[in-house]
Structure 1
Amino acid sequence: MKTMENRRLALLYTMLALPAFIWLVPTLWMVSLSLQPNALLARTTSNTFWGLIPYPLTLDNYLNLLAHGQVHVWFFNSLVVALGMTIGVLVLSTTAGYAFARLNFVGKKTLLVLVLLGLMIPEQAVFIPLYTLFSELGWHNSHHGLIIPRLAVPIGVFIMIQFFRGVTRDVEEAARIDGANTFQIFWHVMLPLARPAMMTVAILTFLYAWNDYLWPLVSAQRTEHFTITLGLASLQSNFAQSEGLGSVMASGVIASLPVVALFLIFQRYVVRAVAVGGSKG
């Protein structure tokens, strides 16, 4: 029986590994090309196993890219913007989500509808008024100019509303019996319970902020204020004038490293939040 079960598990893992490998092929191909000389890639990109095995291997593409004087500045800008936006969205989403889910106040339903309507408005539709407003305030070419327009995230509020609504009210009632007020219940009781949902919102927000290209392209006109996505795109804005395919792929690998690391470290929180949401449904 155990032998038969082990064979079934092995077959299942093989069936799951095959689509996973196919999904990873573009990423593996990008990494492989980034480790090959540009002179070789100018002739062919499939010299060994369709280009998935880098041969001959070189780090020149990465060294040349990191030698560019402003790459570390762009990384710092992206880190500040992504972390600032993540913290701001968490504060606004958790407080607003708790208020909509647990508190009663005048105009609650109307305000909630207005917040969720934000999901229907494309971000490009507000670029012109945002650009005009920030120009008058002198906020372009600054970190807060890149962070503030992205703090209003309706999907974050929606996720927190759904989570707080799923928490039984007995927890709050027990805290009130112990003498806790509304803020103490929110801070000491509800927030610890909401960690999985908060981690999900944080990860989605960080990824969105790190990969954001359109608003930095509009707001950041000086190279020293570029984010990593905008900066690397400016280096490779014209492929014909770039150093080669390997350099382009190295740019993509460097830009994606923080995103990959984030998923590897915090993926269990996303799985837990999805499991909690599924159990509520």
Structure 2
Amino acid sequence: MNPLLRRGWFDRLVMAGLTLLALAWIAPLLWVLALSFKPNEFLLRHTDVFLAPPYTLANYLDILQTSQVFRWLGNSAAVALLQTVGVLILSSLAGYGFARCEFPGRRALFALVMFGLAVPAQSVFIPLHRLFSDWNLQNTLAGLALPGLAAPFGVYLMTQYFKAIPTELEEAALLDNASRFKTFFSIVLPLTLPAQATLGIFTFLACWNDYLWPLVIATKPEMYTLTRGLASTQTNFAQSEGLGFLMAQAVFAGLPALMLYLFFQRHLVTAVAGTGKS
């Protein structure tokens, strides 16, 4: 058989396999989306027929009629934005320092930061809660956002990306008597836009979907994030409102994160490719 023809058949088989895997991955998402448009009384009898009518928007209207849902949405947006901006700033500065600056203990300190990747966030909830309670930061936006600023993955990503940038660009600026900070902000930092976008997406999604820390630190309904608030309505009304209402909540909570990912997805491949350079 012609090698080119054999390669063509192999590529088709690989594409068919990837298509099947993609369909298997997306099927539960489509099931959730379809059930969110079904009347709850219909779902009491059927949950397996999700493409056929009837359809309704009542489940989404019930969410919008929840008294504090837009406040929860605003809390989630504010916390996610604060945490994302903070992580981008701190990770960029730390990554540049580890990639470009020589100082005593640099390797040991970087190894200590990387060790943070192995520490589960849940294992430090008790000391964090006591610390933030002593600082009177319980039920505040700062209390919700500050723990997420410790981002070992962000430091690693930015360090690897800074290492991939040629040092000649900085050396030319330094020869022109530019300061280290001016070189960083004017020349090096703009080149890291793909990595910044990728880190921003990961940070925003992790904060937006976080449930455990808001459950611990936010005890007043007006300070709930969207995940915490919707979970509280499920606890109170899940059995009476039905499965369609729960599915609509899942879709409603996931839409902002999905739109953010679709908007910035083209930067992901560029950033990952950049971290692979030495």
Same fold by TM (over 0.5)?
Answer: yes
Partner of 1:246: 244
**132, 135, 144: which one aligns with 1:137:** 135
* 2:170 equivalent in structure 1: 172
Asked if the contact 1:83–1:206 (Cα under 8 Å) also holds between the matched residues in 2, the reply is yes
Identify the match of residue 189 of structure 2 among 188, 191, 199. 191
Partner of 1:214: 212
Residue 94 (structure 1) aligns with: 92
Contact 2:157 2:275 in 1 (8 A): no
Unaligned runs of 5+ in 2: 1-6
- After superposition, the C-alpha distances for 1:101-160 in whole angstroms (9 at most, x for unaligned) are 101223322322222221122112211111111111110001001011110111100111
Separation of aligned partners in 1, 2:158 and 2:246: 39
Identity percentage of aligned residues: 49
Inter-partner Cα distance in structure 2 for 1:121 and 1:17: 36
Partner of 2:4: none
The one-letter code of the counterpart of 1:44 is H
* Matches of 2:46 and 2:164, distance apart in 1: 56
Measured against aligned partners, the alpha-carbon deviations of 1:220-263 in whole angstroms (never above 9, x if no partner) come to 00011000011111111267634100000000000100111011
In the alignment, is residue 30 of structure 1 matched against residue 12 of structure 2?
A: no
**1:83 & 1:262 partners in 2: Cα distance?**
12
Q: Is the 8 A contact 1:235 1:242 kept in 2?
A: no
For the residues of structure 2 that align with 1:263 and 1:23, how far apart are their CA atoms? Answer: 17
Per-residue CA deviations over 1:200-238 (Å, capped at 9, x if unaligned) read 111100011001111100000001100001111111126
- In structure 1, what is the Cα distance between the partners aligned to 2:197 and 2:212? 25
Q: What count of residue pairs does the alignment treat as equivalent?
A: 275
Please tell me the residue identity of whatever aligns with 2:82: G
Which is worse superposed, 98-107 or 182-191?
98-107
The one of 105, 115, 118 equivalent to 1:117 is 115
Q: Pick closer, same or farther for the CA change 1:12–1:114 going to 2, 3 Å.
A: closer
1:19 is displaced (CA, Å) by 2.4
Structure 1 residue ranges (4+ consecutive) displaced by more than 4 angstroms after TM superposition: 5-15
SS at match of 1:254: helix
2:107 alignment partner, SS class = helix
1:260-275 matched pairs, under 5 angstroms: 260-275=258-273
Q: Is the 8 A contact 1:36 1:54 kept in 2?
A: no
Give how far 1:25 is off.
Answer: 0.7
Name the amino acid aligned to 1:134. F
- Shift of residue 191 of structure 1? 0.6
Q: Give the 3-state SS of the residue equivalent to 2:265 in structure 1.
A: helix
Matching of residues 70-109 of structure 1 within 5 Å: 70-109=68-107
Rounded Cα–Cα distance in structure 2 between residues aligned with 1:26 and 1:119:
30
How many angstroms apart in 2 are the aligned matches of 1:100 and 1:85? 22
| Alpha-carbon separation, structure 2, partners of 1:277 and 1:129 | 34
Structure 1 residue 7: deviation in Å? Answer: 9.4
**Alignment deviations for residues 16-67 of structure 1 (CA, whole Å, 9 cap, x no partner):** 43322221111111010000100000001123xxxx4151110000001110
Moved more, 14-23 or 63-72: 14-23
Q: Is the 8 A contact 1:35 1:54 kept in 2?
A: no
Unaligned 5+ segments in structure 1 are: none
Deviates more, 1:246-255 or 1:19-28: 19-28
TM-score, length-scaled by structure 2: 0.92
**8 Å contact 2:117–2:153 — kept in the other structure?**
yes
Deviation at 1:198, TM superposition (A): 1.0
Deviation at 1:94, TM superposition (A): 0.1
Distance 2:11 2:51 in 1: 29
**Equivalents in 1 of 2:211, 2:271: separation in Å?**
28
Summarize the Cα distance change of 1:138–1:11 in structure 2 as closer, same or farther, 3 Å threshold.
Answer: same
- Give, in whole Å, the separation in 1 of the partners of 2:240 and 2:218: 22
Letter in 2 for 1:158: Y
**Corresponding letter in the other structure for 1:46:** D
| CA shift in 2, pair 1:54/1:142, >3 Å | farther
Task: Tell me how far 1:179 sits from its aligned partner.
Answer: 2.3
Is 1:258 matched with 2:256?
yes
CA RMSD of aligned residues (A): 2.2
